[in-house]
Amino acid sequence: MRIATWNVNSITARLPRLLAWLESSGTDVLCVQETKCGREAFPFEPLRELGYQAAVNADGRWNGVALLSRVGIEDVVTGLPGGPEYEGVQEPRAISATCGPARVWSVYVPNGREIGHPHYEYKLRWLAALNEAVAQDAAGERPFAVLGDYNIAPTDEDVWDTAAFEGATHVTDPEREALAALRASGLGDVVPRPLKYAHPFTYWDYRQLCFPKNRGMRIDLVYGNTPFAKAVTDSYVDREERKGKGASDHAPVVVDLALEAP
């Protein structure tokens, strides 16, 4: 079974690349972030033609998440139970479902903007709510994982230059402590470092030639419980999909598991 996560930075803008990638990669379940479209504009039909069902949490603004599966989608939960609001709205940043033998979440953690900003405090509250919402599944016997754009680099090795992030979000102690709390609940990072290259970044800004210069961050993560982690046979960041015209600023993160759909 192959599970992946990808912040597509607009599913409508990325649709031709997304469909081609799904067809060539053999992915069974894809967790999508930053759909940037409402349900009425979501490409259900092209995905259905490829054999994928879709569960979507999106409102047409700049957030939005989805689960795409060709091994079934059951028991869908839309949103983050108990999650905080920002400016009076619970943003569409989480969706979960059972896809074949695994229970998976697609999450788009708030950016935080800058230290001291209300959005930063919202980010920390959101992560605390996520921890509470997933604790039972994390400790369970069913393969379970939370995949997505966490907007946090777990360690200093996960950014191209620590000096460039001094005083910025994504690398602060409170954010990393929130990841540590998830690990304490029974989830672990199942994509090891190093992979096939020294710095398996997943995000590179469009500006200042960041991708050609490999000035990136590893912020797209796969956190799985023990049964999920034990089933992992391989993992990689598909850097090729970050190349070329019309690419997202994130690359897909792919995990292979010794699991079979029922």
Q: With pLDDT > 90 as the criterion, what percentage of the chain qualifies?
A: 93
- Written as one letter, the residue type at 164 is A
Strand locations in 50-209 (E): 53-57, 65-69, 74-78, 94-99, 102-108, 144-149, 188-189, 203-204
- Give the model confidence (pLDDT) of 191-200 as tens digits: 876 555 556 8
Q: pTM of the full predicted structure?
A: 0.96
Q: What is the pLDDT of residue 61?
A: 77
Token readout for 184 is 């304490």
Q: Which residues are annotated as a binding site?
A: 7, 34, 149, 151, 249-250
Cite the annotated binding site for Mg(2+) by residue number. Answer: 7, 34, 149, 151, 249-250
Q: Confidence class of residue 47 from pLDDT cuts 50, 70 and 90?
A: very high
Enumerate residues 6+ apart whose C-beta is below 8 A from 168: 114, 115
Mean pLDDT of the chain: 95
199 is catalytic: no
Encode pLDDT of 216-258 as tens digits: 999 999 999 999 999 999 999 999 999 999 999 999 999 999 9
Residue 97: predicted pLDDT: 98
Q: Which CATH number fits domain 2-257: 3.40.50.2300, 3.90.950.10, 3.60.10.10, 3.40.50.1820?
A: 3.60.10.10
Q: Which of 28, 149, 158, 220 is catalytic?
A: 149
pLDDT of amino acid 260 = 82
Is the CB of residue 142 less than 8 Å from the CB of residue 133? Answer: no
Burial (Cβ within 10 Å: 0-12, 13-18, ≥19) of residue 140: middle
* Per-residue pLDDT tens over the stretch 93-129: 999 999 999 999 999 999 999 999 999 999 999 999 9
Whether 206 is a known active-site residue: answer no
Query: How many beta carbons lie within 10 A of that of residue 29, not counting itself?
Result: 28
Interval 5-38: pLDDT, tens:
999 999 999 999 999 999 999 999 999 999 999 9
* Model pLDDT, residue 88: 94
Angle between the 118-138 and 173-184 helix axes, to the nearest 10 degrees?
10
CA–CA separation, 23 vs 121, rounded Å?
Answer: 40
Q: Is 106 left (phi over 0), alpha (psi -120 to 50) or beta?
A: beta
250 belongs to the catalytic site: yes
* Residue 206, both tokens: 């469009």
Residue 193: its pLDDT value, please?
61
Spatial contact of 235 and 195, defined as CB atoms under 8 Å apart? yes
